[in-house]
Chains A and B, each alone.
Chain A
Amino acid sequence: MLNLLRNLDRRLIFLIMGLAVAIPVLMRFEPPSEVTMMDQNVFDAVQDLPDGSRVLLSFDFDPGSQGELLPMAMSFTRHLAEKKHKIYFMCLWPLGEPFIEDAMKLLQEEYPHLKYGTDYVSFGYKPGGEAVIKNIIVDWKQLFITDSRKQDLKEIPMTMKLKSAKSMDLLISISAGDPGTKQWIQYAATPAKLPMVSGCTGVQAPLFYPYIPDPLSGLLAAIKGAAGYEKIMSEHYPDLKTPAFVKSRFSSTAAQQRMGPQFVAHLLMVALILLGNVIFFIDRSQGNA
């Protein structure tokens, strides 16, 4: 038995992991989501702004991270729409732009009273990373002459009088790496003293803890943070619990649904580590390790 475990075929581990993820997905297993203080801080940063505030929402991720970050991107979009904030979409990653289009589609479908140009606008992708941030913090129109639809910024109500990113009331960066939250902190939130919150992947979260609480007032870490945010959202806006939102293309409970497979996969990982160590200690006691 011990020999079998010692030489466990890795394909068997792959199969078990596959089942650990697939079964909760198929059975729609959804453990309760815990709301942390950090999730609440992020929610409060958006909620406490007066209705109609200007919020810059940057989608700094690509399809590789959409499993972790897209649910929170959609939650932020919904929250900003519920609060009637003016949303300025942009991205520092070339493949972030389709997600902006998705978010705008969500606004068209779920909040049809909000109009492009007066309630939300997209600047799309601009190459340059931190250079883009440094430029828009001084003079927005030096870098952006048009929006992502090639409309002159002077003709769009939301951007007519926009001078720089300093006029934003809140920055939100959803980040999967560089350029992302770190650059927004270094080149916008800190020098211009702008309030900022962020959502990021699990591996990035520890890197941003040193920036909390100043200049980062809150951080949604990976799918767990997104699930907590969704839970707070549904408590404040009960409509989000209705089938129309839950079963929509971008479900209002997408992150909470993904906590099931993560729960089982984490338990499996712990079990595998324990098993590996039991074998190691038995081997060592027998003088084999």
Chain B
Amino acid sequence: MIAKRTIPLFIAALVGVLMIATYFVPYTEKWGADAMEMFIILAAAAMVLGAGNLLLLNLSKISNRQPGWGYAGITLTAFFVTLIIGLFKIGAMPTSSAATNAWTAPVVQEGSPFWWIYKYGLVPLTATMFAMLAFYIASAAFRAFRAKNVEATLLLGTAFIVLLGQVYAGVWLTDFLPTLESYVAGFPAASQEFVLAVGMQVKAGVPLTDVVVGGVAYANMVGEHHALAIETNNYIGGWWYQLLNGLRLENLTQVILDVPQKAGNRAIMIGIALGIVSTSLKVILGVDRSYLGSAD
């Protein structure tokens, strides 16, 4: 009972408290790092368990002649070939730093058999897997993405804006709406640089009285420049320009990402964090013992 329950509970509580302490007590940082190193060793051991599990599952599929047992055979062959070539660095070449010792070669050394498996086996296979997503998403979008109710319509509208805003199509489709550049283009060439400089500052939220162009503050501007600065401020800072410019798809996309998306995500993240705190405290205090197995 002590070995199965008390000691694991004690270890979990001790390490849990230690990891919390590392955030608040700098002196305990080193102990926390030691605990994490033990975690890394355990994680490496878990990899062996995972490999064992893969082996057992696939061997049982082959031995029971389950449907698709041939694939299990391919999985195991690929697993062992890759493992042996990688583990024993078969065909690896010595590097300049140790000309007599091929064991110093990097794991994936160009020209070695392991590199060949990686470059001509794994890379095309994984790339193909991900590339196929485009086809399935296109088919699914055509068949399932319907404006059946208000929620689905909102989702559809948002998806439309973000899809188009993420590529040049967004700029192209709403190119008729004003930008600072299109406004500047309406001025004579001699004034364009000045108007652009004022416009960029107004766009960044700088009050007109604080605008500085070429080292000259607004208060010291004279004649034509003074009038141009006021005109630019009134147009770029005005609600009409703000509204129309904001409707450009690339700007709408950014607003969606910056405001509702960010707010929603933050709320979810805070909720998850509180859940993790609560669950972790239960484990540390020994209230939740489910990780010890079903009997506990």
Residue ranges of A at the interface with B (Cβ–Cβ < 8 Å): 8, 10, 13-14, 16-18, 21, 31-34, 36, 62-67, 95, 97-98, 101, 105, 124-129, 131-132, 134-135, 138-139, 142-143, 148-151, 191, 202, 205-207, 209-210, 222, 224, 259, 262-263, 265-270, 272-273, 275-277, 280-281
Closest to B118 in A: A98
Within the complex, what minimum Cβ distance (angstroms) separates A33 from chain B? 7
Q: Which of B106, B262, B269 contacts A101 (CB 8 A)?
A: B106
A67-B130, A101-B106, A268-B138 known; A280 and B147 CB under 8 Å? yes
Q: Which A residues lie within 8 Å of B107 (CB)?
A: 97, 124-125, 148
Distance in angstroms between the alpha carbons of A224 and B254 in the assembled complex: 13
Distance in angstroms between the alpha carbons of A194 and B66 in the assembled complex: 53
Distance in angstroms between the alpha carbons of A16 and B168 in the assembled complex: 20
Residue ranges of B at the interface with A (Cβ–Cβ < 8 Å): 23, 29-30, 32-33, 36-37, 39-40, 43-44, 47, 95, 97-98, 103-104, 106-110, 115, 118, 122-123, 126-127, 129-131, 134-135, 137-139, 141-148, 156, 159-160, 163-164, 166-169, 171-172, 250, 254, 257-258, 261-262, 265-266, 269
Pairwise interchain contact A272-B138, C-beta atoms closer than 8 A? yes
Q: Which B residues lie within 8 Å of A149 (CB)?
A: 95, 97, 104, 106
Pairwise interchain contact A191-B23, C-beta atoms closer than 8 A? yes
Within the complex, what minimum Cβ distance (angstroms) separates A226 from chain B? 13
Q: Which of A10, A16, A269, A277 contacts B163 (CB 8 A)?
A: A269
Q: Which B residues lie within 8 Å of A139 (CB)?
A: 30, 33
Closest to A64 in B: B126
Pairwise interchain contact B257-A263, C-beta atoms closer than 8 A? no
Q: Which A residues lie within 8 Å of B160 (CB)?
A: 270, 273
Pairwise interchain contact B130-A127, C-beta atoms closer than 8 A? no
Q: Binding site of A, secondary structure by majority: helix, strand, loop or mixed?
A: helix
Q: Which A residues lie within 8 Å of B134 (CB)?
A: 17, 21, 265
Within the complex, what minimum Cβ distance (angstroms) separates A37 from chain B? 8
Q: Which A residues lie within 8 Å of B40 (CB)?
A: 126-128, 131-132, 135, 143
Pairwise interchain contact A138-B33, C-beta atoms closer than 8 A? yes
Pairwise interchain contact B47-A273, C-beta atoms closer than 8 A? no
Pairwise interchain contact A13-B139, C-beta atoms closer than 8 A? yes
Q: Which B residues lie within 8 Å of A205 (CB)?
A: 257
Q: Which B residues lie within 8 Å of A134 (CB)?
A: 32-33, 36
Pairwise interchain contact A269-B141, C-beta atoms closer than 8 A? yes
Closest to B256 in A: A206
Pairwise interchain contact B146-A280, C-beta atoms closer than 8 A? yes
Distance in angstroms between the alpha carbons of A33 and B168 in the assembled complex: 7
Within the complex, what minimum Cβ distance (angstroms) separates A256 from chain B? 11
